[in-house]
A and B are shown apart, each in its own frame.
Chain A
Amino acid sequence: MSDATDLWSYLAQEPLLWLTLTLVTYVGADALATTVRHPLANPVLVSVIAIGAVLLATGVPYARYFEGAQFVHFMLGPATVALALPLYANVARLRKALLPMLAALVAGSLTAILSALGIARALGVRGETLLSLAPKSATAPVALGVSEQIGGLPSLTAVLVILTGIIGAVISTPMLNALRFTDWRARGFAVGIAAHGIGTAHAFRVHSTAGAFAGIGMGLNAMLTAVLAPLIVTLFF
């Protein structure tokens, strides 16, 4: 018994266990998403709940888990750069859709910021918690910078950004099917604006054109949110 305890306390300190847990859980969640095909079987959502439950049950702090998982996290950078390839492959379609994209970008970005602030304020949220909500649809590194700039709490914004991404990935497909929007360009672009990288990851799973347009939506909304969020907060909140 004490041998098992020793082995556990050794492994729990090492990156290997947490990196392995991350990959194995994702492979399982990915297989589940492919077989079940229910919106709630989103691989990010399922993996986060499963790994979170393991950490809470074993009392392992998030920081120790991240020491192992950071190798996966690091690949987000090169993956973002790699979005240039589907963009380039779709450049003819992009040229054709410049005006619709511009309209969707302004409408989506404004709605994301204004409705989040308006709803939370109506429900009694005030102060720095409210301000932390403003950039929630932008990709994490931009959202954190904006949050700090307007007087929010960057660590709270990080959580709100991740949750927004998961919500967008879970609701977008059933909602857009129900509303009968069939244009993959519009669907992908909207999800990229509202739900950044996690929405883009979901769009790539659904359709490659949707994925390419989601990547552009994410990038453009990162820029527009950095401009709009401070403006809206100064004007209205």
Chain B
Amino acid sequence: MIRALAILLLFQLAGETVARGTGLPLPGPVLGLAALFGLLFLRPSLRDRLEATATTLLGHLSLLFVPAGVGVIAHLDTFGRDGPALAAALVVSTALAIVAAVAAFAAVARLTGAQADE
């Protein structure tokens, strides 16, 4: 667990360093993800070492968003008079984006024969 966490932190640190150094508009952890993904092909044994910790972390991913989410309370007044319009835009736009993506995926999967294997 501790060893796995150390490996994950090392990749995050490397990602952060590259992001800062190159000025890429991407967060360090996303670059760390890409680097670890690449390394897993070179060293598949890394998977056994990280699997248990990754499953635990991702199984409770919702928990990790709670502290930032509570920040909504501190910004309630920022909404001011645009509150209802912003709420409508968020709900409708999020629904439309999900439907557009799912429909595009399904349509192209049917065209290319890339059907689900389940």
On A, residues with C-beta under 8 Å from B are 22-23, 25-26, 30, 42-44, 47-48, 51-52, 55-56, 61-63, 65-66, 69-70, 72-73, 75-89, 93, 96-97, 99-112, 115-116, 119-120, 123-125, 129, 133, 136-137, 139-142, 145-146, 149, 153, 155-156, 158-160, 162-168, 171-172, 175-176, 179, 181-187, 189-191, 193-195, 197-198, 200-202, 204-205, 209, 211, 217, 219, 222-223, 226
Q: Are B78 and A200 closer than 8 Å at their CB atoms?
A: no
Chain A facing B: main interface SS: helix
Chain B facing A: main interface SS: helix
A141 to B109, CA, bound (A): 31
Interface centre among B8, B40, B86 (most CB of A within 10 A): B86
Q: How far is the CB of A45 from chain B (nearest CB, A)?
A: 8
Q: Are B58 and A189 closer than 8 Å at their CB atoms?
A: no
On B, residues with C-beta under 8 Å from A are 5, 8-9, 11-12, 15, 25-30, 32-34, 36-37, 40-41, 47, 50-51, 53-55, 57-75, 78-79, 82, 84-109, 112, 114, 116-118
Q: Are A25 and B61 closer than 8 Å at their CB atoms?
A: no
Q: How far is the CB of A122 from chain B (nearest CB, A)?
A: 9
Q: Which residue of A lies closest to B110 (CB)?
A: A100
Q: Which residue of B lies closest to A112 (CB)?
A: B97
- Starting from the known contacts A25-B66, A80-B12, A217-B101, 6 additional A-B residue pairs (CB-CB under 8 Å) come to A42-B62, A51-B66, A77-B29, A77-B32, A82-B53, A83-B58
Evaluate whether A80 and B97 lie within 8 angstroms (CB atoms) in the complex, with A52-B73, A104-B105 already known: no
Q: How far is the CB of B78 from chain A (nearest CB, A)?
A: 5
Please give, as numbers and ranges, the residues of chain B lying within 8 Å of A80 by CB-CB distance: 12, 27, 29-30, 32-33
Evaluate whether A26 and B90 lie within 8 angstroms (CB atoms) in the complex, with A81-B12, A125-B85 already known: no
**Leading 6 A-B pairs by shortest Cβ distance:** A108-B101, A69-B67, A190-B101, A123-B85, A80-B29, A201-B61
Q: How far is the CB of B41 from chain A (nearest CB, A)?
A: 8
Please give, as numbers and ranges, the residues of chain B lying within 8 Å of A162 by CB-CB distance: 65, 68-69, 71-72
Listed by A's residue number, 12 A-B pairs whose Cβ atoms lie within 8 Å are A51-B66, A65-B67, A81-B32, A85-B47, A104-B102, A112-B93, A112-B97, A120-B86, A123-B84, A124-B82, A133-B86, A190-B102
